[in-house]
Structure 1
Amino acid sequence: MSTATELTEETELTEKLVRQVRTRLAEGRLPTEPGALVGLIGELEQLKATASAVQADASVHLDGARREEERIAGVPARRRGRGVATEIALARRESTHRGRNLLAFARILRADLPHTSARLRDGTLSEWRAMLLARETVCLEVDQRRAVDKQVCADAAKLDGVGTRRLVALARSAAIAIKQEPLVQRAARCAAERRVSIRPAPESMCYVTALLPLGQGVAAYAALTRDAEAIRRDGDARGSGQLMADLFVARTTGLPLLGDGHDGESADHPADTGSASDPGPPAVPVTVNVTMSDAALLGGADEAAVVTAAGVPTQVVPAQVARLLLSEALSESAGAWVRRLYTDPAGRLVAMSSKQRCFDGALADVLLQRDQGICRMPYCDAPIRHLDHVVPREVDGPTSEANGQGLCEACNHAKQAPGWRQRTDRDPPEGRHSVLTRTPSGRTYRSQAPPPPGRPGTRAPGLSAARGRGSSARARPARSR
């Protein structure tokens, strides 16, 4: 029987059946004629959309089934379904945050956007475009949302050739025509969602992004632009973009701008920290951990190093960049303290234990360095917020390096839902700390600590240098229960 015949309306979709379809796709032979290749690409894109629609339906059914199981088991209503989003995220190889968004989207899609759901299922809309439509209507009442859904997505032919920006405009225009007060109220509420985030960028850089109300964002950008141009007119050789970036750092940290009196130098005689045309960004006296092997630090080896700070995920940098950061940290202008973190031949940080209930002090430092600032739940990229017991303290889990892990707040709460179990792997691959997580569905996922800097087989004691002034105390994640 062919796959097309198998996938009828009466067929129960099972993991085995989908795996067979996927295997046939992976092992199939591509056509050679260009027209056939283009047709194949188009059908595969529609297949992805259809699969997303089925995933959304399956997510809603899983949520309902899990909540019913927990109701029967006597779990309080406010705690039912706590771990479902994380379970979905693990199955989709996504972060817990992404899992929550996907589950919320699936609920809205199934309950309130039947035409959008149909367009996703027939491949007219991609998952991302369908999510944008859900976002544009989320502030409306149910009947209003369904009216926008019908107006925009009832006729698949009307979506032919419509770009994403135009699609969002159509939904927004339809929503405003029906009732604009909710959109005005949402705009006011969105001001409360202002925030600053950070993520890695290529070439040992990073993006610091501020989500601001329109007025404040435009004013901040205009001020940076205006002042950068004024400095350039006074003869500074830096480009507008460089000056805006340096002004941003100087103003958010309270430090003077290089070339403007930094470290006692006058604006006409900038400190010698960069090229003749670019004195470089301001030196920042904040805690930044640079972890590297002694071979990379002292022997000129080219092993990668890792850079972290409190609440910020790790970024991998070349050894030479780490050496430059370390030299800046040891300069008189920044001040520094240095700490050695020793590893065994397998690359594991030294084990430490405590009689206390919470991870604190040097033991907290070991966990943060071992996990490199990133949540240990598989596929989660969020910064560590909690230092958690793998085996809970309530069942005599020790407060030790082996039984400790760094988690984000959402993942720590999710693993406390009924049916979740964790344990450390007694025989971990490559000797690195490993945690096995079993979900209520019986699936097991492995989380392994990232390797410390240095090549396998050439490990030497690592060294962590943190840049800072005054006390070496640093902001720590919340204590685990």
Structure 2
Amino acid sequence: MTDTARHTDVDRHTTADEVAGWLQRLATGGDLGPLGEATPAELCDLLGELELLKNATSAAQARVTLLAADVLREEAVDAGTPTTTADKAVARQLGLARRESPHLGSRHIGFARVIVREMPALHSALTAGLIAEWTATQIVAQTACLSLEHRQMVDAHLAGRLGHDSHRALVAAAKAKAYALDPYSFTKRGRKAVGDRRVSVRPAPDVMAIVSGYVPVAQGVACYKALDEAAKAAKSAGDERSMDQIRADIFTQRLTGQSAADDVSVEVGLVMTDLSLLGLDETPARLEGYGPIPAPLARDLLRDLDDGCDTQGDTAQTTGELGTVRERLARQAKVWLRRLYADPATGVLTSQDDRRRAFTGHLRRFLIARDQVCRTPWCDAPVRHVDHVVPWARGGRTTADGGEGMCEACNYAKECSGWSHEVVDLPDGTHRVKITTPTGHSYYSQPPPILPTLADQGRSVPADARGGDADVITLRLKPDKGPPPPGDPHEDGAESSARLARRRAVDRAGGTSPLEAHLAHLLAAA
């Protein structure tokens, strides 16, 4: 969750103010006004002109990006920053200006440098609005390992086709010409790409996920062929599943080592409310590494799917039924319950512990759970570093409010000259991190709700009726390989999460409710 503060230097914002004026003219708030009387032909004309304007704006952004990157990099290097670190800091700063990640900021700089300085025909077409920014980006990508001379030959080769051919045709033509000009460079690049092989996962619609592998082409074809042949064999033996379903199940089984795709035995992190866990509420849960999932599907992860599925709305509302679930879990996996406390109005986790310099153990895990992704606005990269907002040497606190989860690139970039991070305490007891860039622009970062709907629920309840913190439970599903490991040996005097949760359950004002008592029982057994 982010907010920005605009720079107030009038001279600096002369051009920006003009652009803001154009934006204001385009902002109709959904009211089309006189366009309601326009003919279909006039509407199509306007749509086409807006598309040209959008594309031309991309060209202007490229020119401004290149100029800003050169100036900012020169200033950083003159201030004593190593060039590699300066490049990362500049990418982060320009990414913030575009409300995008530092990674995309770096890509925008590379694109701008090529299209403005090395491919004049492509630049002219984008400036005129004749092609889309995505098309221009893909054409530039096809020339990545070409010399300047060869890149300009590709540019000249496409000059007469820009604005006429389709996106796919232009990209294919650029690729073919590039391969013809320097086939050996592309072959060498392909061999080098083997070192970049990787596997990634990303959310897909309908509570599904896409697991993809970036591998050499021969290995990729072999992987699919192995799945396909195994699926054909199963189908020939009478399997009633579709070929796609069989391939997907075999894919999961072979990766996880399970005899059935549903028997996932690796650790899975699940965050949900206590009421959702018991089937008394339908607040969506969050699967770590994926995102929000419906509460019934979260409960499915805690049940033996062979004995029934909760996706049709059936909920485990009785102690006996929940006990059955726990018995099945005892057979199948170890479930670790860790109780956290979320602000009822914002849904943000809250905690304090300032005894040490390093963020370790429970506090580190807490900050990763609270921030979820890098705290730099629009970055969204996984948290790799947990560090002080204000450096420890300058008085930074080793507390939840004094720490932040960052990706590796952003954490290094914030050490560059001119950057500063500071904690801003808010009247409601929460906090934000104010990020100031070398140009004086300020951006504000606030932790997202631990569960997406908690903040909405908090806003719908009067302040005097919210009571204490909202209860959130994290569940760690692990294979049954013995008891959980002991607590962090470096956490002198710190309570374990389970012990703290039990104490909080007992210490609640007004006694212990049946729900609290049952949760305390679950935590004691976990």
Match of 1:220 among 216, 219, 223: 223
Looking at structure 2, the residues matched to 412 and 473 of structure 1 have their Cα atoms a distance apart, in angstroms, of 30
One-letter identity of the residue aligned with 1:363: L
The equivalent of 1:202 in structure 2 is 205
Looking at structure 2, the residues matched to 179 and 61 of structure 1 have their Cα atoms a distance apart, in angstroms, of 30
TM-score, normalised relative to structure 1:
0.84
- Fraction of identical pairs, as percent: 38
Looking at structure 2, the residues matched to 410 and 76 of structure 1 have their Cα atoms a distance apart, in angstroms, of 14
Q: Determine whether 1:327 maps to 2:307.
A: no
Q: Please report the RMSD computed on the Cα atoms of aligned residues, expressed in angstroms.
A: 2.3
1:24-423 matches, cutoff 5 A: 24-27=25-28, 29-30=34-35, 32-153=38-159, 155=160, 158-256=161-259, 258=260, 281-308=261-288, 312=289, 314-327=290-303, 330-346=329-345, 347-372=347-372, 374-423=373-422
SS in 1 for 2:88: coil
Looking at structure 2, the residues matched to 343 and 79 of structure 1 have their Cα atoms a distance apart, in angstroms, of 36
Q: Taking CA–CA contacts closer than 8 Å with sequence separation of 6 or more, which of the two structures ends up with the larger relative contact order?
A: 2
State the Cα deviation string for residues 315-341 of structure 1 (Å, max 9, x = none). Answer: 101111112223359351233222222
Looking at structure 1, the residues matched to 167 and 415 of structure 2 have their Cα atoms a distance apart, in angstroms, of 39
Indicate conservation of the 8 Å contact 1:432/1:451, yes or no.
Answer: no
After TM superposition, give the deviation of residue 364 of structure 1 in Å.
Answer: 1.1
Looking at structure 1, the residues matched to 330 and 291 of structure 2 have their Cα atoms a distance apart, in angstroms, of 23
Indicate conservation of the 8 Å contact 2:396/2:402, yes or no.
Answer: yes
SS in 2 for 1:104: helix
After TM superposition, give the deviation of residue 293 of structure 1 in Å.
Answer: 1.2
SS in 2 for 1:199: strand
After TM superposition, give the deviation of residue 353 of structure 1 in Å.
Answer: 1.5
Q: Unaligned stretches of 5+ in structure 1?
A: 1-11, 259-280, 477-481
Change (3 A) 1:227 1:422: same
SS in 2 for 1:238: coil
SS in 1 for 2:470: coil
Looking at structure 1, the residues matched to 331 and 71 of structure 2 have their Cα atoms a distance apart, in angstroms, of 62
After TM superposition, give the deviation of residue 388 of structure 1 in Å.
Answer: 1.9
Looking at structure 2, the residues matched to 23 and 473 of structure 1 have their Cα atoms a distance apart, in angstroms, of 58
After TM superposition, give the deviation of residue 431 of structure 1 in Å.
Answer: 4.9
Indicate conservation of the 8 Å contact 1:66/1:81, yes or no.
Answer: no
Q: Determine whether 1:467 maps to 2:470.
A: no
State the Cα deviation string for residues 391-418 of structure 1 (Å, max 9, x = none). Answer: 1123121111111111111221222221
Indicate conservation of the 8 Å contact 1:228/1:240, yes or no.
Answer: yes
Looking at structure 2, the residues matched to 443 and 113 of structure 1 have their Cα atoms a distance apart, in angstroms, of 32
SS in 2 for 1:192: helix
One-letter identity of the residue aligned with 1:292: M
SS in 2 for 1:342: strand
Change (3 A) 1:69 1:460: closer
Change (3 A) 1:252 1:64: same
Looking at structure 2, the residues matched to 107 and 160 of structure 1 have their Cα atoms a distance apart, in angstroms, of 22
After TM superposition, give the deviation of residue 141 of structure 1 in Å.
Answer: 0.8
Change (3 A) 1:77 1:194: closer
Looking at structure 2, the residues matched to 473 and 53 of structure 1 have their Cα atoms a distance apart, in angstroms, of 56
Looking at structure 1, the residues matched to 239 and 330 of structure 2 have their Cα atoms a distance apart, in angstroms, of 25
After TM superposition, give the deviation of residue 80 of structure 1 in Å.
Answer: 2.8
Indicate conservation of the 8 Å contact 1:291/1:464, yes or no.
Answer: yes
State the Cα deviation string for residues 70-100 of structure 1 (Å, max 9, x = none). Answer: 2332334443343111111111111121111
Looking at structure 2, the residues matched to 87 and 323 of structure 1 have their Cα atoms a distance apart, in angstroms, of 42
Indicate conservation of the 8 Å contact 2:370/2:447, yes or no.
Answer: yes
SS in 2 for 1:182: helix
After TM superposition, give the deviation of residue 105 of structure 1 in Å.
Answer: 0.8
Change (3 A) 1:339 1:70: closer
Indicate conservation of the 8 Å contact 1:66/1:84, yes or no.
Answer: yes
Match of 2:435 among 429, 434, 437: 437
SS in 2 for 1:452: coil
Looking at structure 1, the residues matched to 100 and 221 of structure 2 have their Cα atoms a distance apart, in angstroms, of 33
Looking at structure 1, the residues matched to 202 and 89 of structure 2 have their Cα atoms a distance apart, in angstroms, of 26
One-letter identity of the residue aligned with 2:54: K
The equivalent of 2:425 in structure 1 is 426
Q: Decide which moves more: 143-152 or 410-419.
A: 410-419
Looking at structure 2, the residues matched to 71 and 190 of structure 1 have their Cα atoms a distance apart, in angstroms, of 31
Looking at structure 2, the residues matched to 236 and 432 of structure 1 have their Cα atoms a distance apart, in angstroms, of 55
